[in-house]
């Protein structure tokens, strides 16, 4: 330790301050980058969602109205047949009625 260190203590503390600032910058820089990325995603979220929906429609196009109606009817018929199978041992008449309802259009 020289005499100049006692005369100019701020200059003696400079290496410590530089190290401290460097460490702070090492922690702050990724946080700022992450904040910028989150801001970028929030600003362009509608565009990103629209592009994702367009990509999904390219891969799997939407069914027509007739196809969706038929699928809904078919799922109802499957449900009635499933219920008929459950009741076939305990209530055979009710199961027959359910199967009859499922066979109708």
pLDDT digits (tens, 9 = 90+) for 22-57: 888 888 899 999 999 999 999 999 999 999 999 999
Query: How many CA atoms within 13 Å lie on the side-chain side of 73?
Result: 11
Question: Who's near 40: CB < 8 A, 6+ residues apart?
Answer: none
49 vs 13, residue with greater confidence: 49
CA-closest candidate to residue 87, choices 70, 72, 75, 102: 102
- Written as six digits, the tokens of 40 are 């970028």
Share above pLDDT 70 across residues of the chain, in percent, rounded to a whole number: 87
4 sits in which H/E element: helix 3-7
Task: Let me know: does 49 contact 56? Beta carbons within 8 Å.
Answer: no
pLDDT at 21: 83
- Written as six digits, the tokens of 68 are 């969706």
Task: Let me know: does 76 contact 103? Beta carbons within 8 Å.
Answer: no
- Written as six digits, the tokens of 61 are 């196009």
Q: What is the mean pLDDT of residues 60-72?
A: 93
20 vs 61, residue with greater confidence: 61
């Amino acid at each position: 330790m020289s005499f100049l260190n006692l005369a100019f203590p701020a200059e003696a503390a400079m290496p410590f301050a530089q190290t401290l600032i460097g460490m702070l910058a090492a922690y702050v820089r990724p946080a700022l980058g992450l904040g910028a990325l989150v801001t970028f995603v929030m600003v362009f979220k509608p565009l990103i969602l629209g592009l994702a929906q367009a990509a999904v429609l390219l891969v799997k196009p939407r069914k027509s109205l007739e196809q969706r109606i038929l699928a809904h009817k078919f799922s109802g018929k499957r449900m009635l047949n499933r219920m008929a199978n459950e009741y076939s041992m305990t209530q055979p008449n009710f199961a027959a009625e359910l199967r009859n309802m499922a066979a109708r259009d």
